[in-house]
Amino acid sequence: MKELEGMKVIVAGAGIGGLAAAKELGKAGAEVTVYERADSVDDMRYPWHDDVQPEAFARAGLDVPEGSFRKKNWTFVTPDGAVRRMYEAEEKADFSVWRRALNRELVKSAEEYAEIKFSTAVEGAIAENGRVKGIIANGEKIYADLVVDSLGAFSSLKKDVPGVTVHEADEIFVTYRAFRRKNADAPEAEYTNKVYLKHKGERGIAWAIQDGDEVDVLAGRLGGANEEEFASAIAQLEKENPTIGAETVRGGGMYRIPVRYPATRMVADGYAAIGDAAYMTVPMLGSGIATSLAAAGMLAKCLTEAAGKGAEEAVSVKNLWNYERDFYLAFGAEFCGVDVTKRGVLEFPDELLGWLLTSKVLTNDDVCALAKGHFLNIGVKEALRKVKAAGLKKLPALLRVNAMLTRGKRAIKTARRIPAVYTPRAVGKWERKLVKAVTGKDIRR
């Protein structure tokens, strides 16, 4: 007998984590149905590629999607126009994976174990006596033992689920992204993969990346910007990168992506969030493909290990907390430190950021680690080398950077103290400490 036989599971949204969870839970015997508002797999979400570690697919039992290619080395541009190139050996580079190719692979894999219903919009959750009992989709009430929320940062379920974390607008990356036809009449670019940090001195990034006969164009701002500001940002990119042509091949819309530390409450009785709904994206990068695939396995493990206790116990917040705890220990704690780094860098004066990026203080390995969304944990010997490289005149700048990294280490340490067992008091105390460590804010539930 399969461990989860007899358990009914609803996956709300065909996100990456949701589809991977549908496969894993279906393999374990659960009756799984995925509800997705898009009309088909090719209409789902983002028409671009993201960088993913190839081992993430192997762990999930998936092939690297068709059309994937090794990530190219980037050239970072400071607010004052200085540049810093990164060099990463090809065998160490992530794969750039087309989202729609990945969607097709995940849907094909999930369909072996779950039913997928397209053209079905999930409007809210059914909550009775403090428990999530199902969803409302296309106006119909549908009941299940467990609802897996894979509806993204602006999930329509969260408003109905007691105690889960909702988003904050200033931690959403609002971005224009398009693949433009390359301007064949323009001179070849000196740097073909340019990433602008604090583009135009604002809280965000931009890039112009050559993709064969196309140019991947992005302009994004943390918390958003008005239409005029986005138009100005795109116009500046076009001016500085003449290879950007006028024709849009794909994309060309505005998108909203969470770039924050993971939710402190991603589970409730009968409910578990995954992917962007649980803020599983790397705060520096806004991509959560690898982490969402891994989280699906963690959720399945949590449920199968408790299956002998009955469905109600398996989907209780006390048991599902093991899933959240596993995620925090594997990824979430480091993401908290990365989030502190993100916040600190965005508050750096342009001059400080420009000097830091182009100096010998940051090694190529440091830059590669940051580009992958890792936290810089610098030892004493390396810290002394950096002080020597900077010189005494730059000591105040280094002290500011050190203070930021110290706060990041404190956030990681706090996150790793996630309670081993769920109790409202213990989780509430941990949550308050973690939010304070990452954001500096005090919260009271």
1 found inside a domain: no
Chosen domain end from 289, 315, 330: 330
Mean pLDDT of 176-204: 92
CB 257 within 8 A of CB 173: yes
Taking only the tens place, the pLDDT of each residue in 330-371 is: 999 999 999 999 999 989 999 999 988 888 888 999 888 888
Taking only the tens place, the pLDDT of each residue in 211-224 is: 889 999 999 998 88
Q: How many domains does the chain have?
A: 2
Q: What is the pLDDT of residue 361?
A: 87
Look up residue 1 and give its amino acid: M
Within this chain, do residues 279 and 233 fall inside the same structural domain, yes or no?
no
Within this chain, do residues 224 and 244 fall inside the same structural domain, yes or no?
yes
Look up residue 391 and give its amino acid: G
Give the whole-angstrom CA distance, residue 151 versus residue 158: 10
Taking only the tens place, the pLDDT of each residue in 272-282 is: 999 999 999 99
Q: What percent of the chain has pLDDT over 90?
A: 63
SS percent in the chain: helix, strand, coil, step 5: 40, 25, 35
189 found inside a domain: yes
**Mean pLDDT score of the chain:** 91
Taking only the tens place, the pLDDT of each residue in 412-424 is: 999 999 999 999 9
**pLDDT at position 226 over 90:** no
**pLDDT at position 304 over 70:** yes
Q: What is the pLDDT of residue 279?
A: 94
Give the whole-angstrom CA distance, residue 294 versus residue 53: 12
Q: How confident is the model at residue 66 (pLDDT cuts 50, 70, 90)?
A: confident
Within this chain, do residues 227 and 179 fall inside the same structural domain, yes or no?
yes
pTM of the full structure: 0.93
**pLDDT at position 427 over 70:** yes
The strand pairing partners of 218, in sequence order, are 177, 207
Within this chain, do residues 204 and 252 fall inside the same structural domain, yes or no?
yes
**Angle 179-183-188 from CA coordinates, rounded to 5°:** 110
Within this chain, do residues 270 and 155 fall inside the same structural domain, yes or no?
yes
Q: What is the pLDDT of residue 387?
A: 78
Structure tokens at 293: 């695939």
437 found inside a domain: no
352 found inside a domain: no
Q: What is the pLDDT of residue 127?
A: 94
**pLDDT at position 445 over 70:** no
Q: Which of 11-20, 135-144, 200-209 has the lowest mean pLDDT?
A: 200-209
Cβ neighbors of 7 (< 8 A, separation 6 or more) are 25, 29, 30, 31, 145, 146, 303, 307, 311, 314, 315
Within this chain, do residues 136 and 237 fall inside the same structural domain, yes or no?
no
CATH number, domain at 181? 3.30.9.10
**pLDDT at position 173 over 70:** yes
Q: How confident is the model at residue 40 (pLDDT cuts 50, 70, 90)?
A: confident
440 found inside a domain: no
- The Cβ-side half-sphere exposure at 322, using a 13 Å CA radius, reads 16
- The Cβ-side half-sphere exposure at 217, using a 13 Å CA radius, reads 33
Helices (DSSP H) in 252-316: which residue ranges? 289-305, 311-314
Within this chain, do residues 247 and 281 fall inside the same structural domain, yes or no?
no
Q: Which of 43-47, 54-58, 62-66, 437-441 has the lowest mean pLDDT?
A: 43-47
Within this chain, do residues 254 and 138 fall inside the same structural domain, yes or no?
no
Within this chain, do residues 162 and 286 fall inside the same structural domain, yes or no?
yes
Please compute Rg for the chain using Cα positions.
22
- Phi, psi of 116, deg, nearest 5: -115, 120
Within this chain, do residues 142 and 253 fall inside the same structural domain, yes or no?
no
Mean pLDDT of 71-97: 89
Within this chain, do residues 292 and 144 fall inside the same structural domain, yes or no?
yes
CATH number, domain at 133? 3.50.50.60
Chosen domain end from 330, 356, 383: 330
Chosen domain end from 224, 258, 292: 258
Taking only the tens place, the pLDDT of each residue in 109-165 is: 999 999 999 999 999 999 999 999 999 999 999 999 999 999 998 899 999 998 786
**pLDDT at position 1 over 60:** no
Within this chain, do residues 221 and 152 fall inside the same structural domain, yes or no?
no
Q: How confident is the model at residue 169 (pLDDT cuts 50, 70, 90)?
A: low
Give the whole-angstrom CA distance, residue 278 versus residue 52: 19
267 found inside a domain: yes
214 found inside a domain: yes
101 found inside a domain: yes
C-alpha distances out from residue 404 to 24, 222, 344, 399, Å: 39, 19, 6, 9
Mean pLDDT of 18-29: 96
Structure tokens at 384: 């002394």
Domain that holds residue 53: 8-69+97-167+263-330
